Structure 1
Amino acid sequence: MWNPWRENLKDTPRESLNWRLWFGVFVFGIMGAARGIDEGLIGTTATLDPFIKKFGLKDSSKNKHEQAELLSNITSMVQLGSILGALIAFYLTDKLGRLWATRQLCVIWVIGIAIFLAAAPSGSIGMVYAGRFIAGIGIGQTTVVAPTYLAETSPRAIRGLCVGAFSGAVYLGIMLAYFASWGSSIHISDKSQAQWLVPNSMHLMFAGIIFVLSFFAKESPRWFIKVGRHEDAAKNLSQLRNLPIEHAYVQSEIIDINDQLNREREATMGTSWLGPVRELFTIRSNLYRIMLSVMSQVLAQWSGANSITIYAPEYFAMMGTTSQNEKLFATAIFGLVKFVSSMLCALFLVDYIGRKRALSTGIILQLFSMLYMALFLVIDTSVGAAVPHQSPSQKRAAQGAIVMIYFSGFGWALGWNSIQYLLNSEIYPLRLRALGGSIAMTLHFANQYGNSKAVPLMFIGMTTGGTMFFFSAVTAVGLAWVWFFLPETTGKSLEAIDAIFELPWHLIGRKGKQMTEGVGGLAEVLDQEGEKTVELEMREKRVERVEDEGEETRV
């Protein structure tokens, strides 16, 4: 029987794949639904008549630019709040721990959505803006807290799968949101505000579930070690791996974590909060990491796929789907396609064929789809009209364009969507992981905010076809960047990934994995009989020496 995991799991004890691990993956994985629910709901909510009339989205006293500006403001307000949320997440994640950071973000998320929903009776656009901005502060933190926790608690052989649960949940949220809006448009009167209030209550449901379940999850052992609680770290790691503390697998992981953290502390450039910031921006290997974070967010967000997610009904209308129910149904199926493809990527491709191959395959699919849509929109200018005059060949081309929307979603979920979270949870050392992830997600939401604000106006200024050509060009640049700069990290421990970034910059992306084989991890610190090697003994002595020096300093 074919088993794609057999090779990856050969050094991983079976006991470590237990219910405690999967429970943590579930709790922190479904946090991805926070973003997905909002992206799926706000785009479809803005097409429902009660919402349009209540907040004047098609007010005849406004011109097209003013209507587009109002729509983009409402849509992008969560992204604006998420910039702040991602920016403060590194401090809260390191200060409170991964679990309490989760609980406080759920509270902020609920408060924001409650204000947004309370705008229904009065029609106050100010309450819509304020509520969505506050909710964004909570939602923005999920993109730092959850991937950090998942990367830190998962065995290295299935780290891609575990972090991929978060990116997959983004599309679980999008799919559920799309179907909820479609269902409400059918079964709830378009005279009632409940048509958009009911679907948006999903925010409250998911926030409540995550908040309650977090009390049954285990705190990250790496965070315990970072704050000096070594006994708690060993206990939690033992429970997460379902192995005794004395087991070689548990001990080697503890030693790896301590060794990396102590080397970081030896090299620290200051004890204040500015120390890690200086380390991040003045050390060559960390600058390369920052470059990866910046470029992955810029190239992913401006590849166009996220604009399709948020404005999916408008895209389907551009390709010839004019009926309201047809647009929402097509959008719901689009969410299903993205969810299935993201799960396929998380379960098989990211850890099995590798990060770079999965990402490159997704980008190629996305590029082909974008180019087709761009050419179609430039050639057939009658599509999307109230009464389009199309020949049979034009109608078939329009159907092909609709199929390309689904293909672009498949490519995005397969590639950029998974990698943009996984990459930033893997590449940073423990001392800088929350800070690096926070900066990456701040850039993520800044670009997403700019994208969601710009797209309605780009359609007017650049035309729809020109906008799609722009997205195609960015996608092509992304493919070249991945080949040259992105390192392959599949199968490496978080601590061993450090070695990749010590290589010359021009080798990191193309040959980093091959040139650092045999560095770090269980296989390198134990011999074939499970006995300690010289390297392991040296590590233990170095850890003991640094800890002794730390004790003397505190005394």
Structure 2
Amino acid sequence: MGSDKKDNRSIISRNSVHDEEKQVPTTVASKYRWKVNADSSPPEIYNRTLYLCIFVFGILGAARGFDEGNISGAMALPSFKKYFGLADKHKTKDELANLKSNIASMVQLGAIGGAMIAMYSVDKLGRVRALQAVCIIWIIGAILQVFAQSVGMLYAGRLIEGLAIGQTTTIGPSFTSEVAPKAIRGMAVSIFSGAVYLGIMCGYFVSYGAVLHISNDSRKQWVVGVSLKIVLAGLIFILSMLFCYESPRWLLKVGQPDKAIENLSKLRHLPPDHPYIIGEISDINEQVLSEKEAKANRNLLHQFKEIVTVKSIRYRFFAVCALAQLLGQWSGANAVTIYASELFSLAGIKGTDVLKMSAVLGVVKFISAYLCAFFIIDFLGRRRALYIGVTIQFITILYFAIFLHVVPQAADDGAVLTASQKRASLGALAALFLSGTGWTMGFNSIQYLLGSEIFPLKIRSFAQSLTMILHFANQYGNSKALPKMLLAMNNFGAFYFFCGVMLIGLFWCWFFVPEVAGRSLESMEDIFNLPWYLIGRKGPELCPDYSEINKITYTTLGATNTYESHINYLEKDKASQEFVENADEAKENRDSLDKFQEKV
């Protein structure tokens, strides 16, 4: 009897072990279901050090956003209008539209040059040093704007600021995609795109606060907002010195393997000889070595040639990244952001309420951007998030276009609207808010995320910089064009045009964009070597992720083939012992595990 009880207890104990083993992935997946896959990695890799690095590089996105929100609000401030000629009654509507578009778009023009500089600086200086250099340039541009005595000096300051902002869109997404574990890579890069709307929201509120509390005759009314750019740049510079570690992928690329392992160990909170670190370093190093061999004696011209001549890279650049920028920028979302004050006036909002509604728009975009980052982009995937976002944006912009077509008198000063027209005006106001939600869920996340994920390391920063040149070129064209489009196309025509672009965007997403959520960066090549007509629709199904790091799974089983009790290093299609330093010990542990399972 005693022996039977003991055997029963052993069986129950062993069954409990197996039950616990089966339950752990489910528990972890439930806890982190929007960011961690069911084959969860060791929990140590999601740690404060990693999140601080992602935060510093993510908040860099606020550079562009704060400028957009600040200049949108500033152009509605009486003191700014008076100081730079926007209130000059002797100017024609066309001249005022041209002046307004020049002021608004000068940063985008400078950002084109900044994105070109990033082709060289991000790889030459490294991600952290490039970020610090950008902060210095940003401060110089802001100081010139603070002391601007003429519109020419304002142009110069905004152009220099643009040189900094153009580099941020390469530095931020490149770093965050390289250091983030694959399960939260979408979230990490989306923190950068979400920070754009943190900056926009702050810029809108600063302008609204200035018009409420500072005299319309005082120069300080618009200077206060510009001065805050210096504070933000200085804060990011200091935080980068205190909390950031250079990208291990970049360190391996420039021949510093010891430093790369050290930094990866710090970012993952695991010892340097841990199987997870060994597996990740092996994946990166394998790609770096093959790419160094392919890239030997090649300059920027060769990299540009590679984008045009190599089939898999050509598809990634032209069919995915370039179209993401073209369709995204001409979907009308940035026009809504930069000219929010003017568009709200078209919907019947007047006076200081225009700035108040702009601030509310900033809040809506900020909240929706981070809800998307934390709960949607990795949980639903890139394609589904894009479908939903573009659909929401299309419906809301279409409503706004119809409102402008049916109730054009809402734009007139002193217009008296009927009860139904007032309700339609409120609907148009809500449509602009919801269009921001659709944009942050769809195109806004994808335009930064895809470029930082899908390109091989040898060309990643160059291709991302080239993508951002297209980004700012299209944004510059859109910023310059909208005031004249509203004049030439009777307001509503411009928004019908944006709706047409979004319909094309839905087809593009279905046919051309593959789902890459949860894949390691080193596994992207297989998808894009497929025939072009299969990549978007069938790529992930035909090319599963077989990278070494994808074989690390979480388990509570005590006897494993590693020295850590909570890691199980699986072998799928190829032998992995060559990547593990303690291969003999790993074999012994596997034999022990087999014997243990036979007994059970």
For the aligned pair, the TM-score class normalised by the smaller chain equals over 0.9
**Which residue in the other structure is 1:545 paired with?**
none
For the 8 Å contact 2:526–2:543, the answer to whether it is kept is: yes
After superposition, what is the alpha-carbon deviation per residue over 1:225-283, rounded to whole angstroms, capped at 9, x for unaligned?
Answer: 00010000000001100001111111111111111122223333743343322222210
- Give the drift of 1:498: 1.5
Partner amino acid, structure 2, of 1:298:
L
Counterpart of 1:13 (choices 42, 49, 62) is 42
Task: Specify the alignment match of 2:574 in structure 1.
Answer: 535
Rounded Cα–Cα distance in structure 1 between residues aligned with 2:337 and 2:568: 52
Structure 1 counterpart of 2:129: 100
1:295-347 deviation per Cα after TM superposition (whole angstroms, max 9, x unaligned): 00000000001100000011100001012x11111110100000000001100
Residues in 1 aligned to 2:317 and 2:477: alpha-carbon distance in whole angstroms: 20
1:496 equivalenced with 2:535 (yes/no): no
Residue 387 of structure 1: which of 403, 414, 419 is its match?
414
Q: Is 1:293 the equivalent of 2:321?
A: yes
Report which stretch shifted further, 59-68 or 532-541. 532-541
Is 1:303–2:342 an aligned residue pair? no
Secondary structure of 2:569 counterpart:
coil
Query: After superposition, what is the alpha-carbon deviation per residue over 1:74-112, rounded to whole angstroms, capped at 9, x for unaligned?
Result: 000000000000111021000000011011111111101
Residue 381 of structure 2 corresponds to which residue in structure 1? 354
Question: Which amino acid in the other structure matches residue 144 of structure 1?
Answer: T
Given residue 69 of structure 1, which amino acid in structure 2 is its aligned partner? N
- Aligned runs of 1:240-259 on 2, under 5 Å? 240-259=267-286
Asked if the contact 2:106/2:155 (under 8 Å) is kept, the reply is yes
Give the 3-state SS of the residue equivalent to 1:57 in structure 2. Answer: coil
3-state SS of the aligned residue for 2:89? coil
Tell me: CA distance 1:112–1:518, structure 2 relative to 1, closer, same or farther (3 Å): closer
Which residue of 102, 106, 110 maps to 1:81?
Answer: 110
Q: In structure 2, what is the equivalent of residue 316 of structure 1?
A: 344
User: Following the alignment from structure 1 to structure 2, what is the Cα–Cα distance between the partners of residues 7 and 380?
Assistant: 48
Aligned match of 2:488 in 453, 458, 461? 461
SS in 2 for 1:350: coil
Q: Does residue 56 of the first structure (1) align with residue 85 of the second (2)?
A: yes
CA distance in 2, matches of 1:400, 1:489: 37
CA positional deviation for 1:517: 1.6
Change (3 A) 1:521 1:473: farther
TM alignment of 1:65-464, pairs within 5 A:
65-119=94-148, 122=149, 124-216=150-242, 217-268=244-295, 270-291=297-318, 292-323=320-351, 325-464=352-491
Residues 151-196 of structure 1, C-alpha deviations (whole Å, 9 max, x = no match): 0000000001111110111000011111111011101111101111
Distance 1:97 1:52, change over 3 A: same
Matched, 1:476 2:500: no
Change (3 A) 1:387 1:174: same
Work out the CA distance in 2 between the residues paired with 1:448 and 1:223: 30
- What do residues 502-555 of structure 1 show as CA deviations (whole Å, max 9, x unaligned)? 1111111111111112432423488994266773548759xxxxxxxxxxxxxx
Distance in 2, matches of 1:6 and 1:465, equals 40
- Distance in 2 separating the partners of 1:423 and 1:381: 39
Cα distance, 1:392 vs structure 2? 1.1
Q: Kindly indicate whether the alpha-carbon contact (under 8 Å) linking 1:112 and 1:134 is maintained by their aligned counterparts in 2.
A: yes
What is the distance in 1 between the residues matched to 2:425 and 2:550? 54
What SS is found at the alignment partner of 2:298?
coil
| 1:130 aligned counterpart, secondary structure | helix
The 8 Å contact of residues 399 and 431 in structure 2, kept in 1 or not, is answered as: yes
Q: Secondary structure at the match of 1:488?
A: coil
State how far apart, in whole Å, the 2-side matches of 1:511 and 1:434 are.
27
1:525–1:536 CA contact under 8 A, matched in 2: no
Separation (CA, whole Å) in 1 of partners of 2:296 and 2:497: 42
User: C-alpha separation between the residues in 2 aligned to 1:152 and 1:335?
Assistant: 29
Q: Is the 8 A contact 2:41 2:552 kept in 1?
A: no
* Distance in 1 between residues matched to 2:196 and 2:389, nearest whole Å: 17
Match of 1:383, SS? Answer: helix
> Hey, what's the Cα distance between the residues in 2 that align with 1:437 and 1:261?
18
Residues 1:540 and 1:195: Cα distance change in structure 2 (over 3 Å): same
**d(CA) in 2 for partners of 1:518, 1:257:** 14
Q: What secondary structure, in the 3-state scheme, does the structure 2 residue paired with 1:382 have?
A: helix
CA contact (8 A) 2:548 2:576 kept: no
CA-CA distance at 1:425 after TM superposition: 0.5
| Conserved? CA contact 2:261–2:281, under 8 Å | yes
- Equivalent residues in 2 for 1:483-522, closer than 5 Å: 483-522=510-549
Question: What do the CA deviations read for 1:445-488 (whole angstroms, capped 9, x no partner)?
Answer: 00000000000011101111001101111111111111110111
RMSD: 1.7
**8 A Cα contact 2:551 2:569, kept in partner:** no
More displaced stretch, 260-269 vs 150-159: 260-269
For 1:523 and 1:32, how far apart are their aligned partners in 2? 30
Q: Structure 2: which amino acid aligns with 1:20?
A: T
Which deviates the most, 404-413 or 387-396? Answer: 387-396
For 1:33, the equivalent position in structure 2 comes to 62
* CA–CA distance in structure 1, aligned partners of residues 429 and 386 of structure 2: 23
Change (3 A) 1:361 1:6: closer
Stretch deviating more after TM superposition (13-22 or 522-531): 522-531
Q: With the length of structure 1 as denominator, give the TM-score of the two structures.
A: 0.94
Q: Which amino acid aligns with 1:175?
A: M
Secondary structure of the 2:299 match is: coil
Which entry has the higher C-alpha Rg, 1 or 2?
2
One-letter amino acid of the structure 1 residue matched with residue 203 of structure 2: A
**In 1: Cα distance, 2:229 partner to 2:493 partner:** 35
The amino acid that maps onto 2:189 is: V
Where structure 1 has 5 or more consecutive residues not aligned to the other structure, the ranges are 542-555
Give percent identity, aligned residues only: 47
SS in 1 for 2:516: coil
The 3 A distance-change label for structure 1 pair 510 and 191 is same
Structure 1 residue 388, shift from structure 2 partner: 1.4
